[in-house]
Amino acid sequence: MVSRSKPPPSAARDSLTVEVGGWFKANATGAGVFVIGIILVVLACLGLLQVWLSLPAAAG
């Protein structure tokens, strides 16, 4: 009896890898490419919000 090895699992068509701490690493294929863009936009908005909240109030 000959034992056969299992074929390797097929690669996922859509994949996403994000690592923010060190500072930003991203690997994406398929639809994951669009998700990386969305994540970048969200991070940019959060950064702008943080800057806006740290500005001193205008004297008026």
**Tokens at 22, concatenated:** 């060190």
Partners of 26 in the β-ladder? 18
Amino acid identity of residue 26, one-letter, is A
Partners of 29 in the β-ladder? 15
pLDDT in the model for residue 59: 61
H-only helix segments in the chain: 32-54
pLDDT (tens digit, 9 = 90+) per residue, 7-43?
Answer: 766 666 778 787 878 877 888 888 778 888 888 899 8
* 26: three-class secondary structure by DSSP: strand
Per-domain boundaries in the chain: 15-54
Phi and psi angles of residue 41, each rounded to the nearest 5 degrees, phi first: -65, -45
With beta carbons less than 8 A apart as the criterion, state whether 15 and 30 touch: yes
pTM: 0.56
